[in-house]
Structure 1
Amino acid sequence: MDLRTAGVVIQILKLMAVSDGNMAPEEQELLESLSKRYLKEAAIPSWAAAFSHPNDLEVLAEEIPEECRALTAKLSYMVIASSRDAYQFTVNSDEQKAFARLCDALALDQDTQNELIVEAKNELAKRPGLWEVLSSSFSSPFRMGDSPGP
């Protein structure tokens, strides 16, 4: 995932986290950390400078390359389910609507959406959890200065 795509995905995750009008402390801490790290690496002063329409889910989704769309949807579901009680991954109706809008904008069919939800729930059931999944998903853009491995 290139740096620009990573930034778009992070912004989508932020929008998903507030889709129900509330951002849980776990969601906020995680996304602020990713955001600061991304903006620093990309030398972008703010989200406003990074995107012309930073709060339009559909516009942002259009910028996601096809090969990153399933991962974007899965990570988004993990974010909206991350603040739930342990092993209770119910998302509320506002979050479900936002997830459906995102999947529509990403052109993911219902079967794919269902598979991604199952994968997201399975990942969340594992420990240590969401931070490690997100960190590994975004690891290459944040290590731009590192030499590639063998």
Structure 2
Amino acid sequence: MDIRSSGAILRILNIIALADGYLSPNEELLLQSLEKQHRLRAKFVSWEDELKDPQSISCLAKLIAIDYHMLAMRTAVMVASVCRGGDEDSFICEQEERLLNELDGALSLHADDVKQAREDAAKELNKQPSLWQVLYDCFGSQFERPLLI
């Protein structure tokens, strides 16, 4: 995966993970570490230097190569599903759902593709329910796993 696509996907996943207001310390450390590694590899200081609106899913989606659109959607659904507080059910909250809808619109995915991405995400989560495993599936060994607290 090219560095621009992987960075945009990482940023989108970070935004989605934070949408419900809950992120465990290990999940936060993991996302921060991967984003820092990406910035170092891409040789830029911050997303604010790269994009007019670094919180915009639509702006970030434009940076993702078309070959990775389905991967971005599937992984976003997985992160929304796995990043939840201990008292939450297994559903995706309203804020996360809104961001996922924005993402599928920005990626111009067909309804069948979105349905397939959600089904694939559910199947994958049955095999690997941790955030690190989800991200490793998406990015392979592109980044080093940080030491978690």
Range of TM-score over shorter length:
0.7 to 0.9
* 1:74-125 superposed Cα distances (whole Å, 9 cap, x missing partner): 111111111245xx53111221111111101101122211111111112112
Letter of the structure 2 residue corresponding to residue 129 of structure 1: S
Matched AA of 1:28: E
After the TM superposition, which parts of structure 1 deviate over 3 Å for at least 4 consecutive aligned residues?
127-130, 139-143
Q: CA deviation at 1:2?
A: 0.6
**Percent of aligned pairs with the same residue?**
31
Contact 2:74 2:118 survives alignment (8 Å): yes
Bigger relative contact order, structure 1 or 2, given CA contacts below 8 A and separation 6+?
A: 2
Q: TM-score scaled to structure 1, two decimals?
A: 0.80
Aligned partner letter, 2:51: F
For residues 106 and 133 of structure 1, the distance between their equivalents in structure 2, rounded to whole angstroms, comes to 20
Q: Which amino acid aligns with 2:11?
A: Q
Q: In the aligned structure 1, how far is the partner of 2:70 from the partner of 2:104?
A: 9
Structure 2 Cα separation of the partners of residues 82 and 41 of structure 1: 27
Paired residue for 2:11? 11
Equivalence for 2:58 = 58
- Cα distance in 2, alignment partners of residues 77 and 37 from structure 1: 23
Deviates more, 1:102-111 or 1:121-130: 121-130
RMSD: 2.3
Question: 1:130 maps to which residue?
Answer: 131
Alignment of 1:52-131 (within 5 A): 52-84=52-84, 89-127=90-128, 129-131=130-132
Instruction: State the Cα deviation string for residues 22-42 of structure 1 (Å, max 9, x = none).
Output: 142154233112112211222
1:119 partner amino acid:
D
Long gaps (5+) in structure 1? 144-150
Q: Unpaired segments of 5 or more residues in structure 2?
A: 145-149
CA contact (8 A) 1:3 1:141 kept: no
Q: Quick one: structure 1 residues 141 and 51, their matched pair in 2 at CA, closer, same or farther if it must change by over 3 Å?
A: farther
- Of 92-101 and 76-85, deviating more is 76-85
In structure 2, distance between residues paired with 1:92 and 1:24: 14
Look up the match of 2:23.
Answer: 24
Output the CA distance in 2 between the equivalents of 1:111 and 1:76: 16
When structure 1 is superposed on structure 2, of 133-142 and 106-115 the one drifting more is 133-142
**CA shift for structure 1 position 142:** 4.3
Stretch moving more, 46-55 or 57-66:
46-55
CA distance in 2, matches of 1:72, 1:105: 11
Is the contact made by 1:89 and 1:121 (CA closer than 8 Å) also made in structure 2? no
